[in-house]
Amino acid sequence: MSSVLESPEIELAETDYHAFNQALWDRLSADSSLVDLDLRIETDRYGQMIMSPPPAPSHGNKQSEIAFLLKQNMPSGRVISECPVSTREGVKAIDVAWCSQEKWNALGNQSCFRESPEICVEVVSPGNAKGELEEKKALYFEEGAIEVWFCDRDGTMFFFGNEDRQLMPKSALVSDFPDVID
């Protein structure tokens, strides 16, 4: 199945990437042939699917631990795994995200968020290139993230704030979040 949309939907890619990404994601989400695939799906800015194999169990463990700690420390919001967010470079799946109840009320019923949750966490996999992570960080900030976190393969956490997008010693939003995840 081609993920490319028909005209005039394809023209949205040039004029309104959020509308284009939403239409594409709705189509992909409704495609029964994709449901049973054990793959992670994202898209590029042209509407083409990017598929990767499922991550290793250690990756999922880190995701679960981060989600648990976020929920424990930020109980008033929502924790989401594999959160799809529309960006100028297509739909990207955030490994773990936290959004306020306000943002959830505005975006939670969409198949793909049109703006980033406040906290976006990427768990680094062996296949992640440094440039790919830097691009995702920039895209999440462009779409409204307040903080972007990276969890390295050894469990070390790296926190970046939107103000200057530089490495911070700890999260400003979740000051008790540990520096290392087991």
Q: pLDDT digits over 15-49, tens only?
A: 789 999 999 999 898 888 887 888 889 999 988 99
Q: pLDDT digits over 108-130, tens only?
A: 889 999 999 999 999 999 888 99
- Residues with Cβ < 8 Å from 106, sequence gap 6 or more? none
**pTM score:** 0.91
Alpha helices, DSSP H only, in the chain? 12-15, 17-29, 32-35, 57-73, 101-107, 130-142
Interstrand relation of 40-43 and 157-161 (parallel, antiparallel or unpaired): unpaired
Can you give the residue ranges of every domain in the chain? 9-52, 57-168
Fold entry, domain 57-168: tt1808, chain A (3.90.1570)
